[in-house]
Chain A
Amino acid sequence: MSAELGHFALILAMLIAAVQATLPLIGAQRNMPTWIAIANPTAYVQFFLTTLAFGCLIHVYLISDFSVVNVVQNSHTDKPILYKIAGSWGNHEGSLLLWVFILALYGAAVAAFGRNLPPAFKARVLSVQAMIALGFYTFMLLTSNPFERVFPAPLNGQDLNPLLQDPGLAIHPPMLYLGYVGFSIAFSFAIAALIEGRVDAAWARWVRPWTLAAWIFLTGGITLGSWWAYYELGWGGWWFWDPVENASFMPWLAGTALLHSAVVVEKRDTLKGWTVLLAIIAFSMSLLGTFLVRSGVLTSVHAFATDPSRGVFILALLVTVIGGSLALFAWRGPQLKSTGLFQPISREGALLLNNLIMTTALAAVLLGTLYPLFIDVIGGAKISVGAPFFNAVFLPLMVPMIVAMAIGPFMNWKRGDILPALGRLRFTFLFALVAGAAAWSVETDGPFMGVIGIALAAWLGAGVIAEISERIHLFRAPLPESMRRLGRIPRSTWGMSFAHFGLALAIAGMAGAGGWKVESIQTMKPGETVNVGGYEYTFEGAQEGQGPNYTILFGKFTVRKDGEVFTVLEAEKRNYPVTRMPTTEAAIHTTLMGDLYAVIGDAEGDEGAYVTRIYYNPLVVWMWIGCIVMMFGGTLSMTDRRHRVGVPHKRQHSSASSDPVSSTS
């Protein structure tokens, strides 16, 4: 029953989306309040129906209804309940349902929380949202129905890929999609603004919290994925420049640029066209990511060509959305008149530099990701573009960006002065030099980029603190005065400081883990000891055990430092009998200075000896903390008062307009 109910709800949702995509838009064009008023209820009903459909999918997973193909292919009765639920979105069809569910969720959120939006504008936004949704509903119902039945029903399922049976991975896709799909709001706002031919400070303020929300979730999603790779794949790597990673990183870069340029629109009424374009690009990158991952084009252009039904549909959707919105931009964009003027050396100039570097980095990642496909399609020699290329192009872009990041916040709006700003950063500069020298002295023939990374992290981190000190006139004004100023700093400014400081921490982590990793691979008999990164690891032997739906091999290590027992590590190797796949669970002991990381491999010979891989990964935890601090900064900024209450004068206005006549205007 659930499957049919879910299927039916999906079809209804598609029909509702068709109504929502057209009537409110026409109503807004022709100024018909009753048609405009359709936007809100349709958004709510659409959300209700997708929630119902999504609930039905989870239900068929929970009851292990093996007459549904999707459940057969991705579940098993022995699977723990968490992964039965997570399994519903751990596959192509289910993840698409998650996609439209989140899209409808954002739509309903705009309907519910966008009370300060002009009704016609809101109607246009919700219509554009529904157009996107319509494309995805059609795609699902025509090519990827998650509720398809099978007859006769098999006795049990084929189980979920064991790598996905992990708590980190259970919440990773929803997080990532909340980010991806969140940019659809910025996109819809941009399209609605293009239709109206007007972008102003109020527009930038409306867009900002939604873009921030998407950015926070995307940051979280990328971090979770990275963290999972770190502990699960068993060699301590956390970023691989894999096409699917790039697919999530590109919208992040575009979204970060958008957040910065929207500030300029809000404060200075300029860079309007560019900001609208960035909003379109950010969501286009989300769609492109979906296309790259969903169509199978990454595995092989030829596989794509032999079974093209899904891929061609997404490609057509992609071309329609991106091409259509860019055409609209080309037509209406020139009408967006900017009034604010500014000098190259100014706060606006610094934000523009951020945009220039971010978009160039985005283009580099895009180029590197698509280039092998492109060469393959035009019939050239097959080439590979991997981590060494991306590092060679990306890192040189990031160095000037981090340098400028500490200076930018010191700049005045309109016209800044570089020399006084640099003067205020003299201690920051000294601190960066000392940090770099300290990193270099640890290992004098150590990695060049690692030392640069530590120095940059110190520069940025100290720069943030210097900026706050400057803002509160620390040591220049009496202390109570400084404290009073500290209390008056708006949340959005704290948001910036925290986000920048978080990035500084993350850079330190990346530099440490990338530069000074210690690795030791060997065969160990029980009782043998190796020294890795100043710690002595004694292998205590391996034991077998039983998990809920897998067997485990535990490898136990006693770790000593200076002869004292420091910790005991238990690395696991799991074997899932249904899929006959092994996974490794690295044993990790985190300290502030670095992670102790041990993995157990295959048995060697018959004396209880095993291949062991032991790593010391310096500063890794800084990376995770840094990402959390960045997200916290985003949250602070999102909850800034002026986003919560809308335009400052709006509040007085709303109390005055309690009579229904003026509120419809």
Chain B
Amino acid sequence: MRLFICLFMWTLLSALPANAVNPNEILADPGLEARARDISKGLRCLVCQNQSIDDSDASLAKDLRVLVRERITAGDSNDQVVNYVVSRYGDFVLLKPPFNLATLVLWLGPLLLILGGLTAAILFFRKNKKITAPASAPLTEAEKMRVAELMAEDNQ
């Protein structure tokens, strides 16, 4: 599906074969490296379209990957690393935008929609009930006899 980018947008850089993380960047400690990968997946490559620095082979993405690993080696926690990168590049670098006034609609939209949908469904069933109500009025004597007749037939 990334095809579409290349097909139509010609932002070829973003779809170039991934030579993303290179062996010489990898930290010796697998635990630290795993944390670096984890953080990298949430950070955007600033010059690509919608690609994390973990997937991108742009040189800027490489610089950021190295930066993340430097901070981790220096003993920063994951949050500290992310905060450090955000302080330099702004919220734009986060692939999962923070919850704030500007992203209120983004984060609450789906929730409001499903609540709205549920409300609409409840109203729909209420309305249905009102329509059904007269239909469930008690049967007349003649109707009851007819029902009994039919039931008797069915049992034979």
A interface residue numbers (CB < 8 A to B): 90-92, 95, 161, 163-164, 169, 172-173, 222, 225-226, 228-229, 232-235, 237, 239-245, 247-248, 293-294, 296, 298-299, 341-344, 352, 356-357, 359-361, 363-364, 367-368, 371, 375, 380-389, 392-393, 397, 521-523, 573, 581-584, 599, 601-602, 604, 611
Sample of 13 more A-B contacts, CB < 8 Å, known A244-B9, A245-B4, A371-B106: A242-B4, A352-B121, A363-B109, A364-B113, A367-B110, A371-B103, A381-B91, A384-B93, A384-B97, A385-B96, A385-B97, A386-B95, A397-B114
Question: Given A344-B121, A383-B102 in contact, is the A389-B21 Cβ separation under 8 Å?
Answer: no
Task: Pick the residue among B6, B20, B94 that contacts A163 (CB under 8 A).
Answer: B6
| Chain B residues with CB below 8 A from A604, complex form | 23
| Chain A residues with CB below 8 A from B128, complex form | 341-342
Task: Pick the residue among B2, B4, B106, B121 that contacts A356 (CB under 8 A).
Answer: B121
Q: How far is the CA of A319 from the CA of B119 in the complex (A)?
A: 29
Q: Which residue of B lies closest to A303 (CB)?
A: B9
| Chain A residues with CB below 8 A from B125, complex form | 343-344
| Chain B residues with CB below 8 A from A91, complex form | 7
Task: Pick the residue among B22, B41, B92 that contacts A521 (CB under 8 A).
Answer: B22
Q: How far is the CA of A233 from the CA of B93 in the complex (A)?
A: 23
Q: Are A583 and B17 in contact (CB under 8 A)?
A: yes
Q: How far is the CA of A523 from the CA of B21 in the complex (A)?
A: 12
Name the distance in Å between A436's Cβ and chain B's nearest Cβ. Answer: 24
Name the distance in Å between A463's Cβ and chain B's nearest Cβ. Answer: 23
Please provide the chain B residues from 6 to 21 with a CB less than 8 Å away from any CB of chain A in the complex: 6-12, 15-21
Name the distance in Å between B37's Cβ and chain A's nearest Cβ. Answer: 9
8 interchain pairs, CB-CB under 8 A: A161-B12, A163-B15, A164-B7, A173-B3, A247-B4, A385-B96, A386-B95, A389-B96
Question: Given A360-B114, A380-B102, A397-B110 in contact, is the A582-B92 Cβ separation under 8 Å?
Answer: no
Q: Are A382 and B118 in contact (CB under 8 A)?
A: no
Question: Given A356-B118, A384-B95, A521-B23 in contact, is the A244-B42 Cβ separation under 8 Å?
Answer: no
Name the distance in Å between B63's Cβ and chain A's nearest Cβ. Answer: 18
Name the distance in Å between B68's Cβ and chain A's nearest Cβ. Answer: 15
Question: Given A243-B50, A244-B2, A582-B17 in contact, is the A384-B9 Cβ separation under 8 Å?
Answer: no
| Chain B residues with CB below 8 A from A234, complex form | 17-19
Q: How far is the CA of A611 from the CA of B21 in the complex (A)?
A: 10
Q: Which residue of A lies closest to B91 (CB)?
A: A383
B22, B51, B105 interface centre (most CB from chain A within 10 Å): B22
What string of 1s and 0s marks CB contacts (under 8 Å) between B37-56 and chain A?
Answer: 00001101000011110010
Question: Given A386-B44, A584-B17 in contact, is the A222-B106 Cβ separation under 8 Å?
Answer: no
Task: Pick the residue among A364, A375, A602 that contacts B19 (CB under 8 A).
Answer: A602
| Chain A residues with CB below 8 A from B41, complex form | 387-388
Q: Which residue of B lies closest to A248 (CB)?
A: B1
Q: Which residue of A lies closest to B96 (CB)?
A: A388
Name the distance in Å between A282's Cβ and chain B's nearest Cβ. Answer: 17
| Chain B residues with CB below 8 A from A371, complex form | 103, 105-106
Q: Are B106 and A299 in contact (CB under 8 A)?
A: no
Q: Are B90 and A382 in contact (CB under 8 A)?
A: yes
Q: Are B3 and A388 in contact (CB under 8 A)?
A: no
Nearest first, the 7 closest Cβ-Cβ pairs linking A and B are A386-B95, A225-B1, A244-B4, A388-B96, A584-B17, A364-B110, A245-B1
Question: Given A95-B8, A341-B128, A521-B26 in contact, is the A360-B20 Cβ separation under 8 Å?
Answer: no
Question: Given A383-B103, A387-B52, A389-B97 in contact, is the A611-B2 Cβ separation under 8 Å?
Answer: no
Question: Given A235-B18, A380-B102 in contact, is the A386-B96 Cβ separation under 8 Å?
Answer: yes
Name the distance in Å between B111's Cβ and chain A's nearest Cβ. Answer: 9
Question: Given A363-B113, A371-B106, A521-B26 in contact, is the A581-B16 Cβ separation under 8 Å?
Answer: yes
| Chain A residues with CB below 8 A from B4, complex form | 225, 242, 244-245, 247-248, 293
Q: Which residue of A lies closest to B24 (CB)?
A: A523
Question: Given A522-B23, A584-B17 in contact, is the A229-B44 Cβ separation under 8 Å?
Answer: no
Q: Are B50 and A233 in contact (CB under 8 A)?
A: no
Q: How far is the CA of A365 from the CA of B75 in the complex (A)?
A: 37
Q: Which residue of B lies closest to A299 (CB)?
A: B9
Instruction: Give chain B's interface residue range (CB within 8 Å of chain A).
Output: 35 or more
Q: How far is the CA of A234 from the CA of B16 in the complex (A)?
A: 9
Please provide the chain B residues from 142 to 156 with a CB less than 8 Å away from any CB of chain A in the complex: none
| Chain B residues with CB below 8 A from A521, complex form | 21-23, 26
Q: Which residue of B lies closest to A172 (CB)?
A: B3
Name the distance in Å between A256's Cβ and chain B's nearest Cβ. Answer: 16
Task: Pick the residue among B2, B21, B91, B110 that contacts A360 (CB under 8 A).
Answer: B110
Q: Which residue of B lies closest to A229 (CB)?
A: B2
| Chain B residues with CB below 8 A from A163, complex form | 3, 6, 12, 15
Q: How far is the CA of A522 from the CA of B30 in the complex (A)?
A: 13
In the assembled complex, B131 has its CB within 8 A of some CB on chain A: yes
Q: Are A233 and B121 in contact (CB under 8 A)?
A: no
Q: Are B8 and A244 in contact (CB under 8 A)?
A: yes
Name the distance in Å between B28's Cβ and chain A's nearest Cβ. Answer: 12
B18, B50, B113, B117 interface centre (most CB from chain A within 10 Å): B50
Q: How far is the CA of A299 from the CA of B48 in the complex (A)?
A: 9
Name the distance in Å between B109's Cβ and chain A's nearest Cβ. Answer: 5
| Chain A residues with CB below 8 A from B132, complex form | 341
Question: Given A233-B18, A242-B50, A244-B2 in contact, is the A388-B102 Cβ separation under 8 Å?
Answer: no
Task: Pick the residue among B1, B17, B92, B117 that contacts A244 (CB under 8 A).
Answer: B1
Q: How far is the CA of A161 from the CA of B6 in the complex (A)?
A: 8
Question: Given A234-B18, A242-B50, A611-B22 in contact, is the A384-B1 Cβ separation under 8 Å?
Answer: no
Q: How far is the CA of A367 from the CA of B112 in the complex (A)?
A: 12
Q: How far is the CA of A90 from the CA of B7 in the complex (A)?
A: 6
Q: Are B117 and A360 in contact (CB under 8 A)?
A: yes
Name the distance in Å between A516's Cβ and chain B's nearest Cβ. Answer: 14
Name the distance in Å between B17's Cβ and chain A's nearest Cβ. Answer: 4
B17, B49, B52, B128 interface centre (most CB from chain A within 10 Å): B17
Q: How far is the CA of A426 from the CA of B12 in the complex (A)?
A: 51
| Chain B residues with CB below 8 A from A169, complex form | 3, 7
In the assembled complex, B60 has its CB within 8 A of some CB on chain A: no
B8, B41, B95, B96 interface centre (most CB from chain A within 10 Å): B8
Name the distance in Å between A186's Cβ and chain B's nearest Cβ. Answer: 21
Q: Which residue of A lies closest to B25 (CB)?
A: A521
B15, B109, B110 interface centre (most CB from chain A within 10 Å): B110
A232, A242, A342, A397 interface centre (most CB from chain B within 10 Å): A242
Q: How far is the CA of A602 from the CA of B44 in the complex (A)?
A: 24
Q: Are B19 and A611 in contact (CB under 8 A)?
A: yes
Q: Are A293 and B9 in contact (CB under 8 A)?
A: yes
| Chain A residues with CB below 8 A from B91, complex form | 381-384
| Chain B residues with CB below 8 A from A356, complex form | 114, 117-118, 121
Q: Are A235 and B11 in contact (CB under 8 A)?
A: no
